[in-house]
Every structure is written in structure tokens, then in C-alpha cells.
Amino acid sequence: MIAGAPASGKGTQCELIKAKYGLVHISAGDLLRAEIATGTDNGKQAKEFMEKGQLVPDEIVVNMVKGRLLQPDAQEKGWLLDGYPRSYSQAMALETLGIRPDIFILLDVPDELLVERVVGRRLDPETGKIYHLKYSPPENEEIASRLTQRFDDTEEKVKLRLQTHYQNIESLVSIYEDVIVKVNGNTTVEGVFGEIEKLLTSSLDKKTEMVGS
């Protein structure tokens, strides 16, 4: 499992982990959208709640996640669950089903840096490319003039999202305290992945030893 605040670089690290270890990357948000699009029973139920502006109940999301984790590719290759569970009740529902991670990676980035990363983000509506005013500015004035900012990429909204994130993580610590590991996300992409690599390699080695003994 992997968790991180908004703009912690979690998406990038998930791609690197998937490429290196061949794990099946499972994002609860993507799963939800896919099930709604294909019209599964879970998807239809979820859509009803979303159309009313309500949160999708844990039971529905847990069923989706469970179904995906039990598919042959996830069972054979192993899985990387991204951004889920987000609450104590979600984690307990997975525990009840016997679904538990070998390791829970928590990307740790200072709040001021997270705010700076988010507030400086801009989108090119024509190409869909994401820029950052400080870290990856647009190539020319023409692109710069058409960039837009997401409505929730303001300092006030980011701080609220961070508060929610920390509350979520706090509720998970008691369940995953023996497998949770903080990784410093305030370095280069390569530096962060280097730390994750060490942790995953060590975890896989231990698992292999246990299977062999």
C-alpha cells in the first residue's frame, strides 16, 4: 500500500514501482470510475450515491477493491494499492477479508512544499499538459497566456485537503503500525524511489525466506 498527501509525488512513484516490480497498480478512484463506466452492480450503486452528491459507502468500495485484488493477475504478480484505505472502517473491512499489505509506504513531504507544489500548478487546456510556474514553466508566452488553474488548487483548499489527509493517516496507524514506513518525499524523484526500492527489496526477500522455510 502507498499513501501520500496531494502533490507528494505518489502518482510518479506508483508508476516507477509498477515498472520495476511488475505489481498490479490498483487505484480506488480509477476502479470506481471504471466500474461506473462498465455498469457493474457495484458501479450502478456507486453512481446513484454520487449523483445525489453523497459519498460512496465503504461497503461498495471495499467490494470493488476486494474483487480486483482477487483477480488472477493481482494474486500472481502482487498488488500496489494506491490511496486506499482512507479510514479506520475501510482498513478494518479489508482486515476482515484477510487483505493486509506486506508494507505500507507513507510519503512524507513538508506542508509548505506541498502547498507550493499545488498552488503553482497550471494546466494547458489545449494539450492537457501540466506545468508548474516555478519547477516546470511553460516553453513560451503563447502557452503561458492560455494556462488555467484548477479551482481547488488554492492555498486555502490545499490546507483543508492536507488536514483531511493527516486525519485519515492517523486513523490507520493503529492497524498498520507494524508495516507502516515513512519515506522522505522531499528529495528528487530518483532519491525517493531509491528509498522505496530498498524497502520493497527487503520486504520481498523476507517474504521469499518465509515461503522457503
Active site residues: 10, 86, 121, 150, 161
Cβ-contact 98, 127 below 8 angstroms = no
The SS3 assignment for 116 reads helix
Provide DSSP, 41-75. Answer: HHHHHHHHHHHTTPPPPHHHHHHHHHHHHTSHHHH
145's grid cell? 497566456
End-to-end CA distance of the chain: 25
205's grid cell? 526477500
66's grid cell? 476486494
53's grid cell? 452528491
Q: Name the nearest CA neighbour of 28 among 64, 67, 71, 73.
A: 64
The upper half-sphere exposure of residue 83, i.e. CA atoms within 13 Å in the direction of its Cβ, equals 19
Provide DSSP, 76-122. Answer: HH-EEEES---SHHHHHHHHHTT---S-EEEEE--HHHHHHHHHTEE
168: left (phi over 0), alpha (psi -120 to 50) or beta: alpha
